[in-house]
Homo-oligomer: A and B are copies of this chain.
Amino acid sequence: MEAIFVYTTFPDWESARKVVRKLLERKLIVCANLREHEAMYWWEGKIEEGREVGAILKTEVSRWKELREAIKELHPYEVPVIARIDLDKLNREYSEWMARVLFG
């Protein structure tokens, strides 16, 4: 079990919940933590601002490619961010629980 966090952002709660639910149903992730933020970014030559919903997705590294493709397929953005951070350590209890959900 090599656990990863994948960070992505959505334009609103509705799209965030809808996409995350599908990722859960397909067993591509075991859990997601969603919270609002204010985004400031370059877009077409200007600095833009707006509310978004960011999500930390928790899963196992073997799900990465399928997860990345599913997010691209389901995501309302033209260019979503899909950033993977490999965990350096994870407590055994949670790791075993993840394995049961994903592979059990």
Given the complex, which residues of B lie within 8 Å of A4, measured CB to CB? 88
CB pair B37–A34 under 8 Å, yes or no, is yes
Asked if A90 contacts B79 (CB within 8 A), the reply is no
A9-B33, A84-B89 given; 4 more Cβ-contact pairs under 8 Å:
A4-B88, A30-B42, A34-B37, A42-B101
Question: Are B84 and A85 neighbours in the complex by a CB distance under 8 Å?
Answer: no
Residues from chain B with Cβ under 8 Å of A87 in the complex: 83-85
Cβ of A66 < 8 Å from any Cβ of B?
A: no
Contact code string A25-40 (vs B, CB < 8 Å = 1, else 0): 1010011111111111
What's the Cα separation between A32 and B32 when bound, in Å? 21
Q: How far is the CA of A40 from the CA of B97 in the complex (A)?
A: 15
